[in-house]
Amino acid sequence: MNWYTLAGSEHYDDKAIWGYELTYIRNGNGTACSYKDSLGKSDDMTAMYKYALKENYPLHKFDADADKRVTVKGTLLVNDSKDPYGSSAAAYPDFGYVDVHTNSSTVAGTGENVDLLTVPVGNPYTGNYNKYGDGFDLDWAVDEDSTYIPQELIEEFGGRIYIIPPYQHLFSYMKTLIKLFKTNKYSIVHSHINSLSIFPLCAAQIAKVKIRIAHSHSSSGNNEFKRNIIKYILRPFSKVFPNCFFACSNFAGRWLFGKKFIDSGKVIILNNAIDTSKFSYNKEIRKSIRKKENLEGKFVVRHVGRFVNQKNHEFLIDIFYEIHKMDKNTELLLFGDGPLRQNIEIKVKNLKLESNVKFMGIKQNINEYMQAMDIFLLPLFYEGLPVVGVEAQTSGLSCIFSTNVTEEAKLIEDTIYIDLDKGAKYWAEQALQFKETQRKDKSSLIAERGFDIKKEARKLQNYYLNLLGKEYGTN
């Protein structure tokens, strides 16, 4: 069994003691114990601590005299370091260590009294996490012009958010990242911004971060000339600063890193997974949402996406205009926000569709609204592998994707692909063909095909641990 230490900011503090040993000594046959350490300190902890019994640690290989004493080795952290970014978490490690919980019966920031020995370890990627800790602490660097940041969710489970200048202000962007990476001494920097990843990963290399991951999630579109110039200029440098390579699909990996590179096996494919149980089809929720939004008896078209050129909302409105001409008992629900929303609102008004097109904004319960829909349209100009497409198919929703979306995104039979050149009328005709389709839950099928978040989170955790083991010699 391998144990890994994640080197957090306090790991390299001058007061930290490496090679520290602590021996727990069992008092009699019960769970009471005392301790001695390599610094010559000892104490009777009968009233405070419980002895580490074998049955509570089934994966650990205990020594022959484990019924009497157990010795652990590692790094002793200080408890008085200060976070230069002003975090209120200055009294305990800035980011943590595998299998370690805060040394208190009161969980920091919650005010709750719990027996931490009984709390299961969680993981913020799995949807099965808890607020008492997990194997990794994740910090997030987010551009200040981002339209949506799930701040409460991230902070509730121990993450910290650092708002940084947008990459368009490159000097301040790089300066801020370099300072952040140097100060917090991260073991891993994982960048998800495609060809633009060269900038944060260059900053990570300057800050001497050992593990630098470039993660491709997208490609390019034919209708974004200026954006494509930047992408194609940066793409040759996509392998310069990272030393690890991830992608959400083979398609996205080939676009950023090249066919030969991905065929060599150097790119790890990590599916854009979801909590499949959360999106499982539920007839009762469907009835409730349709009643709430006055959708009963209507054929409801759905789209989720930021209002940006890539998502092709202009063409989507043209499609719905044709649908509505053929069937007046139809509605379109648009979820999301973005810089082009006002333009689309004007187009909807000009086409006199205001009563049949609803701008829903950003919804936290998007999984519930998924139940109420009848078809999902995604006429994208480009995409790596759309998460919203996975969500829709999980709930058994019929889907139409543009041929610009990778075939890897087709997970159920009721998903078809149509070329954008076919025109809005053809898309509308095909959409109405699904009007009588019987909805069935597909969550188990989607999970079997590798898109369950719990399994993919475990894969990511194992990748991180393997990379740490190779880099720090703990494998």
The proportion of the chain whose per-residue pLDDT surpasses 70, expressed as a percent, equals 76
pLDDT tens-place values along the chain, 475 residues long = 344 444 554 555 567 777 778 787 877 776 677 888 888 888 776 555 566 666 665 555 666 677 777 777 777 766 554 443 333 333 333 333 333 333 334 443 444 444 444 444 433 333 344 443 445 778 999 998 887 788 887 877 778 899 999 999 999 999 999 999 999 999 999 999 889 999 999 999 999 999 999 999 887 666 665 666 888 889 899 999 999 999 999 999 999 999 999 999 999 999 999 999 999 999 999 999 999 999 999 999 999 999 999 899 999 999 999 999 999 999 999 999 999 999 999 999 999 999 999 999 989 899 999 999 999 999 999 887 889 999 999 999 999 999 999 899 999 999 999 999 999 999 999 999 999 888 999 999 999 999 999 888 888 888 888 888 777 654 4
Q: How far apart are CA 172 and CA 179, in angstroms?
A: 11
The proportion of the chain whose per-residue pLDDT surpasses 90, expressed as a percent, equals 52
Residue 116's pLDDT is 40
End-to-end CA distance of the chain: give it in Å, rounded. Answer: 10
Q: What is the pLDDT of residues 321-373, one digit of tens each?
A: 999 999 999 999 999 999 999 999 999 999 999 999 999 998 989 999 999 99
Q: 409 φ, ψ to 5°? A: -85, -10
Q: What is the pLDDT of residues 77-96, one digit of tens each?
A: 665 544 433 333 333 333 33
DSSP reduced 3-state for 62: coil
What tokens appear for 238 in the block?
């996509």
Determine contact, residues 409/401, Cβ cutoff 8 Å: yes
Q: How far apart are CA 147 and CA 128, in angstroms?
A: 26
**With 0-12 CB in 10 A as exposed, 13-18 as middle and 19+ as buried, what is 15?**
exposed
**With 0-12 CB in 10 A as exposed, 13-18 as middle and 19+ as buried, what is 272?**
buried
Q: Amino acid letter at 148? A: Y
Q: How far apart are CA 443 and CA 276, in angstroms?
A: 5
pTM recorded for the entire structure? 0.66
What tokens appear for 391 in the block?
């969500």
Spatial CB neighbours of 355, under 8 Å, sequence gap ≥ 6: none
- Which residue is associated with the tokens 């040993």? 21
Spatial CB neighbours of 154, under 8 Å, sequence gap ≥ 6: 124, 138, 140, 160, 161
Cα–chain-centroid distance for residue 308? 21
Q: What is the pLDDT of residues 428-457, one digit of tens each?
A: 999 999 998 889 999 999 999 999 998 888
Residue 84's pLDDT is 39
Residue 17's pLDDT is 76
Closest CA to 467 of 243, 264, 252: 243
Q: In what order do the strands lie in the sheet with 42-44?
A: 42-44, 33-37, 17-26, 69-76
**With 0-12 CB in 10 A as exposed, 13-18 as middle and 19+ as buried, what is 213?**
buried
Residue 39's pLDDT is 85
Q: 135: which strand partners?
A: none
